[in-house]
Structure 1
Amino acid sequence: MNRSMTFVVLLTSFVSVANLTSIDSAWDDAHATFYGDISGGETMQGACGYGDLFKEGYGLETAALSTALFNNGQTCGACFEILCVNSQWCKPKAGSIRITATNFCPPNYAEPIQYHWCNPPNKHFDLSMKMFTSIAEYRGGIVPVKFRRVMCQKSGGVRFEIKGNPYFIMVLVYNVGGAGDVNSVAIKGDNSNWISMQRNWGQIWHTGVRLVGQKISFVIRTSDGRSVTFYNVAPESWTFGQTFEGSSNL
């Protein structure tokens, strides 16, 4: 049996025992590199608007996505299963890893072509070092991978961090299960109608409607069409900079 046939057999075997909650059974091709150090350097706010990834529950199980996957921030919060393939640097029997998209790996047109991994149309994951070295040897640097979208498994409820000022409210939505990537948000005060929020950047949403002094409710919808309503998440006394947790998740 040649090497390519061996891989097909192994991958087929792997898929047969994979978590059946996957939202995309088809595997696609990409490459992966890593950033930071083994302790998780550079895990602060990136292009998705998330803050301290440890405090927000994402930890090191994260990745920055190339332009082809990032989709102008609309993929922020989505989860992926990644498997190292066809490289001498893949760790034997390492299995797969699961990560959440939390940042953007920007194109680099200035460097030599061998450093253009995040340039369009390449599909690329820039992993934390811990996640990269879970599936490949450190000295490999960059490896080919197979990947697919999977359902996100998050602990606790969906969280809403309220920022901005009385005239321009911004809300970071995070810790979202299910599809993970939120594509619409509506907000409501107890004295207002439902208001569609606009995507500011990443998973930060905004509105110019004044809601200070009102209880706040939210409706979020993810890319798979599922929606959840969170009533009275924030009390009348809420202030900017506070985070509130919904009673459920997707």
Structure 2
Amino acid sequence: MALYLLQAAIICYLLSVLHITTQNEEWKSATATYSNDTNGSIVTEGACGFGDLQKTSYGGKYSAGLSGILFNRGSTCGACFEVKCVDHILWCLQGSPSIVLTATDFCPPNYGLPADYGGWCNFPRAHFQISKAAFSDIAHEKADLVPIQYRRVKCERKGGIRFTITGSVYFLQVLITNVGLDGEVVGVKVKGTRTAWIPMGRNWGQNWQCNVNLLGQLLSFEVTTISRRALTSYGVAPETWKFGQTFEGKQF
């Protein structure tokens, strides 16, 4: 019995360490540039599918487009990164203040330019494209490219996870937004009133779909994040739900 309790304690400790590591990674090196936006937002329709960032809880100013190695084919959408300008006395603001950004878009490569001169998002460079408003919180605007350090951090969200239902009578598509803690969703399941749990596949960004007609059924969702935490929201969408509507579930 004592041996069993010791093994259980060790497992719990290792899991807690793994979770902490996932949420508070070591600082890594990258670069950052800013876009010449006029409204504080990177994009209104980014590669993550979040739509108009001015209307989401992420806040348009603190969104970021990631190079391919960080974007990870859309899996990283919704994740949070702490970023600070470092090692440049002319461009970085004094004290190296940091900001927290949400991954909302993909920064495409430009293989017509070298990686160290214009092709900032070429593989395998780690690069962040952020709004000018956010850039000015960590560096002087006259800089066009700055060295930074970044690390994954917990996402602080207000309210519950949001489920925006789109698609058609032939398939169900759901956009998952406002995910706390990890921010990064790696698995989604849906359950209708008359069905078992149905796994959904990633369509693009944080849009998930399944080829099932669930019209007229009460919908529940299970969301799994990168640290393998799962959260189930029962009865999120009523039987009268319609395409284009957004519903709110539980929060991590």
Q: Same fold (TM over 0.5)?
A: yes
What letter is aligned with 1:142?
A: L
Q: How does 1:47-86 map to 2 (within 5 A)?
A: 47-59=47-59, 60-86=61-87
- SS of the residue aligned with 1:71? helix
1:28-57, CA deviations, whole angstroms, 9 ceiling, x for partnerless residues? Answer: 000000113252254311111111112111
Distance 1:176 1:35 in 2: 26
Q: Is the contact between residue 21 and residue 151 of structure 1 (CA under 8 Å) also seen in structure 2?
A: no
3-state SS, counterpart of residue 56 of structure 2 = coil
- Helix, strand or coil at the partner of 1:115: coil
1:202 pairs with 181, 186, 205, which one? 205
**2:178 equivalent in structure 1:** 175
Structure 2: distance between partners of 1:180 and 1:42: 19
What's the CA shift for 1:25? 3.5
- Aligned AA for 2:70? L
CA contact (8 A) 1:47 1:202 kept: yes
- Unaligned 5+ segments in structure 1 are 1-19
- The C-alpha deviation readout for 1:52-73, integer Å capped at 9, x for no partner, is 1121111111100001101111
Deviations 1:73-118 (A, max 9, x none): 1111110000100112001125100000000001001235510110
**Which residue of 2 is the match for residue 150 of structure 1?**
153
What is the alpha-carbon root mean square deviation over aligned residues?
Answer: 1.5
- Which residue of the partner structure matches residue 45 of structure 1? 45
For 1:29, the equivalent position in structure 2 comes to 29
Alignment-mate amino acid for residue 211 of structure 2: G
What percent identity do the matched residue pairs reach?
A: 49
Letter in 1 for 2:80: C
Q: 2:93 aligns with which of 84, 91, 99?
A: 91
Q: Is the 8 A contact 1:94 1:134 kept in 2?
A: no
Looking at structure 2, the residues matched to 230 and 137 of structure 1 have their Cα atoms a distance apart, in angstroms, of 44
Q: Distance in 2 between matches of 1:53 and 1:217?
A: 26
Contact 1:32 1:144 in 2 (8 A): yes
Q: In structure 2, what is the Cα distance between the partners aligned to 1:245 and 1:53?
A: 18
Inter-partner Cα distance in structure 1 for 2:242 and 2:201: 21
State the match for 2:188 in structure 1. Answer: 185
Instruction: From the superposition, tell whether residues 107 and 225 of structure 1 become closer, same or farther in structure 2 (CA, over 3 Å).
Output: same
Q: Deviations over 1:5-24 (max 9, x none)?
A: xxxxxxxxxxxxxxx99813
SS in 2 for 1:69: helix
CA distance in 2, matches of 1:236, 1:41: 36
Amino acid at match of 2:128: F
- Which position in structure 1 is the counterpart of 2:109? 107
CA change 1:22–1:168 in 2 (3 A) is closer
Q: Which amino acid aligns with 1:56?
A: T
Cα distance in 1 between the residues matched to 2:25 and 2:203:
32
